Structure 1
Amino acid sequence: MSDAFDMSGLRSWIGRTRVVEDDISLAAVRRIAGMLDQDPDSYRRGSALPPHWFGMFFADVARQSAIGPDGHARKGEFLPPIPLPRRMGAGRRARLHGVLHVGDDAAKVIEVAGIEPKQARTGLIVVLTMRQTINARGKVIAVDEFDAIYREAVPPGTQSTATTPIPAPADEAWSDPVLLDPVLVFRYSAVTWNGHRIHYDADYAREAEGYPGVVQNGGLTMQLMLEAAMKRAPGPLLGFTARLRRPLFVGQTARFCGRAPEGGRMACWVAAPDGSLAAEMELEFAA
């Protein structure tokens, strides 16, 4: 597998770091609150933010001339030059040590933590793991590891193959139906400065990547899972793990479900319209 391309060159990226600074501005916070259907005016300078909002700041801002054909920054700009054309989020593991406040001068240290080629049922993939450490007010706020999967191109005119569907659990204690509204997806992409064309360009999604339509943003799916779970939180959030199983598509209505908290933990998941498991998450809370 690793002979398919120069893994030694790619692995030289492991351990590389860079820093993205951000001021946690009132305007940005209010845009996020409005996007998540909260009262924007409930936030003021100095307000503590929900602990799971840290991932919606610190965007990579590439020059327009550095954008690749998929809407991301070209490989080698911010991320390793993995020579597979299709990139999708796969999962996260986060530990929370504090919260951001409106007005913080904060920074995210980004480290290339792993690059691993694998032979999947759908062909060669490479899993890229990025470790992100959020700092503010002289202390660590969160450590977040994010996995992205790079995949081979699909032949023109063919559909992207997905993993074999797994039925979503049927023992939920709560369930929230959520319309994956195109305006919500647009607003999330704007807030996070995500230009990936599969999230707004239906022709590109179908013709270049083999999807049946515009793809729901996986980061938004995870954020909505967190929002749903935090409505039932038994205590302060300490961390979470998440995995994206199958793509969802804009315009669908998905069910965000979960079990009652037990022993400081809560399991939640997303059921696609066909009843398959689209995403899952486990959250850990302080007593």
Structure 2
Amino acid sequence: MQYDMNEWIGKRQVTEDEISLTLVRRAAAMTDLDPAAFHRGNELPPHWYSMFFTPNARASEIGHDGHPRKGDFLPPVPLPRRMFVGREVEFLRPLIIGAEARKVSEIASITPKSGRSGQLVFLQVKHTIELDGEAAVVERQNVVYREATEPGAAPEASRETPGAAAPAFAWEQALTIDPVQLFRYSALTWNGHRIHYDADYARQQEGYPACVMNGALTLHLLIGAAIGQAGDKRLKRLVARLSSPLFLGDTIRLCGGPLAPAGDMLAMDACAIGPGKRSAATVQLQFSTPGSPA
């Protein structure tokens, strides 16, 4: 099957939002931070940008899976399953709590491929978040569209595991995927995808064994853990990849290496490891060195 959607490349969309103190405090509570520690005028933790600029589709514009229908900004890819698989982000300047900002989104590429699970279409969207007319965050978000799965079929597992050759971790945290936290994150990000809260839909329509962990939440927790290990270093860039699904009730390990010199930056590798020692997500982070420009 061939997909020719080149006319969608370059399509743009502008979304305005406020870096709301209310939402920031709710996000803090979601990860057991003190909401009262956040105030207007503070810098937003860098990776929290992704909880803003949500696609506020009207009820009549929602598809059967809970996502906004395709064919408006996103191309009408004729494959039913849409999954977030990773992002590359540059942090140019901090976003400020209470400030008004805007996001300019552009379809960067559409790439059809064939995989073990059938036909795939990879979509990359470039998002530029602007504050006072200047770029603050630039993200290249990667999404894959896939064929429908037979009801009851096991999800495709990643072949990527840490393995015996993986380096020793400098830090590690364990957590269990909690239904309340998963619900709160979906609510904060206005994510209606039914795989995250409707167990019957997840099993019967998309072939998963249980409600699916939101991959963006996995990255949020993993990046937050890594930043916590970096002290006062400022995050400048990250590359994140999701490699296999996690499910409600799974225990996962957030792990990472030490900060190490990488040119004029400091770098750290981090990963989320699920049941069976399977890699669920990896992130490469780069931080500014002391005395470097902010």
- TM-score normalised to structure 2 length: 0.93
Amino acid at match of 2:186: S
Q: Aligned residues: percent identity? A: 47
Q: Which residue of structure 2 lines up, in the alignment, with residue 110 of structure 1? A: 105
2:213 aligned partner = 216
1:100 aligns with 2:95: yes
Specify the code of the residue in structure 1 equivalent to 2:54: A
Q: Is 1:20–1:58's contact at 8 Å kept on the other side of the alignment?
A: yes
Contact 1:124/1:151 (CA < 8 Å) preserved in 2?
yes
1:283 Cα shift?
0.0
What is residue 269 of structure 1 aligned with on the other side? 271
- State the match for 2:235 in structure 1: 237
Which residue number in structure 1 is paired with residue 255 of structure 2? 257
Q: Which residues of structure 2 form unaligned runs of 5+?
A: 290-294
User: Cα offset for 1:165?
Assistant: 4.6
Aligned pair count reads 282
Partner of 2:49: 54
1:280 to 279, 282, 289: 282
- Aligned mate of 2:73, from 58, 78, 87: 78
Distance 1:200 1:60 in 2: 19
Q: Which residue of 1 aligns with 2:200?
A: 203
Match of 1:37 among 32, 35, 43: 32
1:13-42 per-position Cα deviation (integer Å, ceiling 9, x unaligned): 110101010011211111111112111111
Shift of 1:172: 0.9
Equivalence for 1:179: 176
What is the distance in 2 between the residues matched to 1:216 and 1:24? 25
Is residue 23 from structure 1 mapped to residue 15 from structure 2 by the alignment?
A: no
AA in 2 matched with 1:223: H
C-alpha distance in 1 between matches for 2:279 and 2:82: 20
Q: CA deviation at 1:167?
A: 3.5
Distance 1:170 1:215 in 2: 29
User: C-alpha distance in 1, partners of 2:243/2:207?
Assistant: 17
Q: Measure the CA separation in 2 of the matches of 1:257 and 1:34.
A: 23
Q: Report if aligned partners of 2:158, 2:279 keep a CA contact under 8 Å in 1.
A: no
Equivalent position SS for 1:222 = helix
Match of 1:226 among 223, 229, 249: 223
What is the correspondence of 1:158-173 to structure 2 with a 5 Å cutoff? 158-167=153-162, 169=166, 171-173=168-170
The alpha-carbon deviation at position 229 of structure 1 amounts to 0.2
Structure 1, unaligned runs of 5 or more:
none
Secondary structure at 2:277 match in 1 = coil
Q: Is the 8 A contact 2:162 2:278 kept in 1?
A: yes
Aligned to 2:292: none
CA distance in 1, matches of 2:283, 2:201: 30
Note if contact 1:122-1:162 (Cα within 8 Å) is conserved in structure 2.
Answer: no
Deviates more, 1:29-38 or 1:166-175: 166-175
Q: Distance in 1 between matches of 2:202 and 2:223?
A: 27
| Superposed structure 1 runs of 4+ greater than 2 Å apart | 155-170
> 1:153 maps to which residue?
148
RMSD of aligned residue pairs (Cα, Å) = 1.3
- Answer whether contact 1:5 1:83 (CA < 8 A) is retained: no
